[in-house]
Structure 1
C-alpha cells in the first residue's frame, strides 16, 4: 500500500527537477543565441565612423571636469553624483552615489596620479599641486572609512558627520550605522562592502603609490594596505559585517588543485599591492597563494554572459587585473596575467568602443602609437573621447532613445527582437534571473549611449535610456581617467597636438 505513495513522492520531486533542468538548458541555449552577435563585431561596422579629435577640446574638457569635481563632487574628498538646484549647475541640492563612491574615487585618484605625472614631466607646478590636493583629500576620507567601523581595515562604503545639514544633502540616512563613542562620536557610516569597492581602491592606490612622489601620500597608502590585508587575514579572507554575517570572500575556497576559473585576480591584486608597499612582509604570503596554491593559473573569468545586463562586472574585474599586472615585478608571471586578461576581458570587449579597455590593452602589451596594430585602436580611443567631450560635458542625465532613430532597423539585432517577443515572463521560467530585450548588434558610439557614473562599465548595446534630469550630473571620472592615462603613456597629445 505504501509503494504508490513513494512513487508519487518521487514523481513530485523528479518532475519539477526535470522541468527546471531542461528549462535551464533551453534558456542557456537561447542566451548563447542572444549573445552570438558579439562574435561578428569588427571596425567596419562602427556606426558613424571615427571622428577626428580636437586635442584642444579634449584638454579643456579634462581641465573643466577636474575643476568641477574638486569644487562640487567631493564634499568629503570622495567622488559623488550631484543633483543641482539651478540650471547653471552651481548650487548643490543633494548628493547620491554613496554606495559605490570607493570604486569611482579609486578611479578618480588614478586619473589624478596620471595627471600629476604628466604635470611633473612638464614642470607644471599648478596641475601637479591640484592633483596632489585631490588625492590627499580622498585618502583622508579613506582613512576615516578604514577606522570608523571600530576595526582597522574593515572598510566602510562612506562616512560623514551626522549633522542635520549633511542629512539634508543626502550624505547619510537613518539606516546608516551611528558611532556612539570615541573620536567619531555622532558620525554615520555605511558598511556591507563588496569586492567591487576593494578593486576600485586597490586600482587607485597602486597607481598613486607608483607615480606620485609624495611621502605623506605613500605613508597613508602603506598604512591602509597593511590594515586591509591584516584584517582579511584575521577573518580568514572574509568580509565580516557588524551582524556577524559574511559579505564576501576575497580568497577562493580551498582546496584548489586544478587550473579552474576562480576569480583569483582579486586576492592576488591585493597581495601584490601589499608587496609593492611592504615587500618583506607580504612576499611570502603572495607566493603561498600564487605559487603554492596555484592561483597564478586561476585568474581567468568568464564575462561573456555579462555584455548586456551585467557589463559593470567586466569593469570591476578589469580593475583587479590592472592592479595585479601593474604591480607584478616578475616578467614571467606578469605575462601569464596579461594573457589571462586578454582571454577573459579584452577579446570580449575589443570592438565595444571602450576607450578605457583599449588604453589598458595598449599599456599591457607595450603598443606604441607608431605600431601598425595601434592605428585602429587609437582611432577608437580618440573617437570615444571626442564624442564624450562634445556630448557629455557636463555628464548629466539625458534621455537617449535609439529605438526612434532612422537607422533603428539597421542597428537592432533581429535575433534579440525575436527572443524578446518569444521569451516573455509567461514563457521564460527563469525570467527573474535573465530577461531578453532588444539590443543593438553594433557597439553604439559614446554620444548615443545613456549616462552612467563610469560609461565604460555600461553596455554599449543598450538601445534606450529614458532617464532625464539635466540638473543631475555625474562627476566625469570616466573622461579624465582615460584622458590623463593616454597623455601619460604618450598616446594622446596635449592641446597643441604635441606628445610632450
Structure 2
C-alpha cells in the first residue's frame, strides 16, 4: 500500500462507512484496505539475540541493530545476520541511520562511520568509543553524539565540534534538513554550531514531525507544538497506553509505540495493535515504516510487520472457505482446531465439541446460501457432505429420534467422558445431553437445505424424514429431549410446565416458546402432518406460547431467585440466547402458517434487533433483514470488512486502555454487559463465536486455538443472497 492509501484504510476499515439506509443497496464489493500481521522468523542459532533498533532504507530493506551485530531481512520474512559485505560481516555497529531524502544506510562503528553508497567514498575516522548515536541529513551532514559531546561532519567542510544540550539524552532526529535533539526535558534544533531550545517539559520520550508541527510524546500522553514551540494541541492522555516510547508520522498519520503495544491516531478514535495477533510480545523497542506505508514493530525478541493490503469481501470468503475445508472438517463437522504444541502449526488437532451440530450449521448454511447465489455444484455437494453427520447423530445410537451432540472413534474422545456412551458399532462412541443450542442448528440446516438445496423428491424426503424424526421424538416425549438414561436432558426442554416456570422478565420463556413454534411450523411444512399444525396452535393458544414470544425485549431484566437443577438463571444475560433466537427467527418467519403470524413475527424480530444494534453483528442484521426487513447497513459492512482472516483466538486485553469510555458493571442497569459506549473493531477484541458478547474486550483462548471462519462465511453469503452486497 502506498503512503497515500493510509487514509483509505482509516476511512474504510475502522470508521463507519458512509452508507445509510437500504436505498444504498446493494453495496458494491469494492476493494478496501486492511491491516494484516506478518511475523518474521529468526534463525534458531540466533535465538538469544536482543534487538535494539530498526530502520528501513529507500529500497525497503530492513536493518536491525542487535547485541550480536547488524541483522537484516531476507526472502520469506526471515531475519538473520547481514553478511553481504565481507569487510563488515565481523563488525558490530554502535548505531545505524537512514539518510534523509536518499534513504541510504549509514553505519556508526566505535572508530568510524561510513556508508556503502557513493561507491564507499564516505568514511569518517573517529576517536574510539566516543560516539554512540548518529543522524544524517539530506545535505550529507553527519551528526554524531556521545556522553562527552558531539561532532558534525560534512563532505565539503571541516569537522565541527559541538556541545550537547542539557538533560538525559533520548534520541536524534532529522527533519527538513535540520538536526533535532531530544532530551528528557527539552527539544532542540541545531542552528549553525549552537543548539536552539524550542520546547521544554518533563518526561519527554519521543517526537514526530508533521509538515509544520511536532508531536511530543511523554510518559503521560502527548501534545502538538509548532516549530517555534507554541502549543497547537494540548496534552492528550486519553490514549490506549499514555506512556509513549516512540512516535512516527506516516503521511500525516501519527503512530505511537509503547511497552504495551502500538496504536495509531484516527479522526474519531485510536486503533490499537497489541497481543499475539500483531506482536510476538507487547514491549516495542523501536518502529519504522517503508515507502509502501507498512509498519514494522521491533520488540526485544522479534520483528513484526503490519502490512496494509487491498482485499475484497469475495476474496476473504474464498480464503476462509478454502482454509476451512483444508483444516477444519471433522467427519463433515466444522470444527475449531487446537495445536498440541502451541508453537508448531503442524500439530493441529480437531477435537469433538458439545456443539458440533450448532457450529456446523454456520458452515452448512453458508454453502446453502452460496448455492442459492451462484448455483455452483460444489457448494451443493458441500452441503450434503456436512448433512451426513447430522443424519448419523440420529442413527449412531438406539434412542429413536434423539440426536446426539457429537461422535468420535473409540479411544479418541477429547472432551469430558461422563456423557459419552459406546455406540452399537464398537468402533464409535457418541455423546448425549443434547441441548436447545443443537436443536436450533438442526432446524436451521433443515430449513436452508429444504429451501435452497434439495431439488428432487428424494432429496426433499431425505430432509423431511430427518427433521420429522426429531420432532416426533420431542412431541412423543412431552416436549423433552429424552437421553440414553430415559430422562430429559438438562437443556432440551420445551414442555409448557418448564417454559412457563420462567418469569416474564426472563428471556428463556420467550426463547423456548419461539423454538417450539418454529420447529412445529417447519415440521408441518416438510411433512404436511396435521399433528404439527395442531400442536403449534395448541401451544400458542392453550399455553400462551405466542404471548411469550411477543414479550418485549425491554421487559427482560435482572431476575433474582430462579434456579434450574441447581443452576442460577436470570441474573445475567446469556449471549447464546441471541444466537439461538436469530437463527430461529429465519425459520419462524419463513415457515409461518399464515401472513398474520408472519407480521406478528416480524414485529417481535424487530423488537429484538433493536436491542442488538449496539453489538453491530452482521449476522443478526442480515437475519433481521431477511425477515422483518430491518438492517443496520453501516454496521453490517463494518463487520464484514473488519473480520480478520487470521482466526486464531489470541489472548487480548483492552480494559487498561485510557481512550475508551467504560460503562458500569451493574446487572440492573447494564444487564446485557455492554462494557464500553462504542464497540471497538473485531481485530482488537477476543476472537469469539456468535454466542459471545461482542463487547467482551479482554479474553481469548490462546494463539493455539483457531476458529473455522464460518463466523464470516454465513453472513457473507447471506448478504450476497439478500442482495446487500454484490
Give the TM-score range, shorter chain: 0.7 to 0.9
Residues 271 and 241 of structure 1: is their aligned pair in 2 closer, same or farther, counting only changes over 3 Å? Answer: same
Q: C-alpha root-mean-square deviation of aligned residues, in Å?
A: 3.4
Contact 1:172–1:189 at 8 Å: present in 2 too? Answer: no
Q: Deviations over 1:322-347 (max 9, x none)?
A: 2111211411101111212222x212
1:68 to 319, 323, 328: 323
Distance 2:577 2:545 in 1: 20
Change beyond 3 A, Cα 1:468–1:150: same
Of the candidates 15, 31, 53, which is equivalent to residue 49 of structure 1? 15
From 585, 589, 605, the counterpart of 1:321: 585
Alignment of 1:121-270 (within 5 A): 128-162=376-410, 164=411, 167=412, 170=413, 174-175=417-418, 177-179=420-422, 181=424, 184-215=425-456, 217-247=459-489, 248-253=492-497, 261-263=509-511, 264-270=513-519
- 1:381 partnered with 2:670: no
Residue 336 of structure 2: aligned partner: 81
Q: In structure 2, do the counterparts of structure 1 residues 439 and 202 end up closer, same or farther at CA, with 3 Å as the change threshold? A: same
1:403 to 655, 664, 672: 655
The answer to whether the aligner puts 1:460 opposite 2:704 as a matched pair is no
- Count of aligned pairs between the two proteins: 402
Matched, 1:492 2:725: yes
Corresponding residue number in structure 2 for 1:27: none
Using the TM superposition, give the Cα deviation of residue 294 of structure 1 relative to its aligned residue in structure 2, in angstroms.
4.4
> Do the aligned residues in 1 keep the contact of 2:399 with 2:484 (CA within 8 Å)?
no
Cα 1:359–1:110, aligned 2, differ >3 Å: closer, same or farther?
A: same
| Runs of 4+ displaced beyond 6 Å | 85-90, 434-438
Deviation at 1:489, TM superposition (A): 0.7
Distance in 1, Cα, partners of 2:499 & 2:619: 35
Equivalent residues of 1:51, 1:386 under 8 A apart: no
Larger radius of gyration, structure 1 or 2? 2
Taking the aligned partners of 1:316 and 1:145, their CA distance within structure 2 comes to 20
User: Which one of the candidate residues 344, 349, 352 is aligned to 1:94?
Assistant: 349
Residues in 2 aligned to 1:395 and 1:222: alpha-carbon distance in whole angstroms: 35
Q: Select 1:447's aligned residue among 683, 706, 710.
A: 683
Separation of aligned partners in 2, 1:411 and 1:339: 33
Structure 1 unaligned runs (5+)? Answer: 1-46, 121-127, 368-373, 424-433, 494-500
| Alignment CA distance shift 1:331-1:437 (3 Å) | closer
Q: Please state which structure has a larger fraction of its residues in strand.
A: 2
Q: CA deviation at 1:146?
A: 0.8
Deviation sequence 1:180-235 (CA, Å, 0-9, x none): 64xx2331011001111101220121122111143354332211111011111221
The secondary structure found in structure 1 opposite 2:358 is: helix
Q: CA deviation at 1:293?
A: 4.6
Which residue, out of 289, 296, 300, partners 2:539? Answer: 289
The one of 580, 595, 599 aligned to 1:331: 595
Compared with structure 1, are the counterparts of its residues 278 and 252 closer, same or farther at alpha carbon in structure 2 (3 Å cutoff)?
A: same
Is the contact made by 2:352 and 2:408 (CA closer than 8 Å) also made in structure 1? no
Cross-structure match for 2:609: 346
> How far did residue 406 of structure 1 move?
4.5
2: distance between equivalents of 1:283 and 1:89?
Answer: 54
**Counterpart-to-counterpart distance in 1, 2:423 and 2:536:** 38
In structure 2, distance between residues paired with 1:464 and 1:287: 45
CA distance in 1: counterparts of 2:316 and 2:623, whole angstroms: 21
What SS does the aligned partner of 1:83 have? strand
Per-residue deviation, residues 249-308 of structure 1 (Å, max 9, x unmatched): 22322898xx96543111111101102211244333333333455433321465555897
Higher relative contact order structure (alpha carbons within 8 Å, sequence separation ≥ 6): 1
- The structural deviation recorded for 1:436 is 11
Residues 176 and 186 from structure 1, CA distance in 2 versus in 1: closer, same or farther, beyond 3 angstroms?
Answer: farther
So what's the TM-score if we normalise by structure 2? Answer: 0.51
Contact 1:82–1:473 under 8 Å retained in 2: yes
The 1:67–1:152 alpha-carbon spacing in structure 2 relative to 1, beyond 3 Å, is farther
Counterpart Cα distance in 1 of 2:381 and 2:344: 23
Corresponding position of 1:371:
none
* Structure 2 counterpart of 1:298: 548
**Higher share in helix:** 1
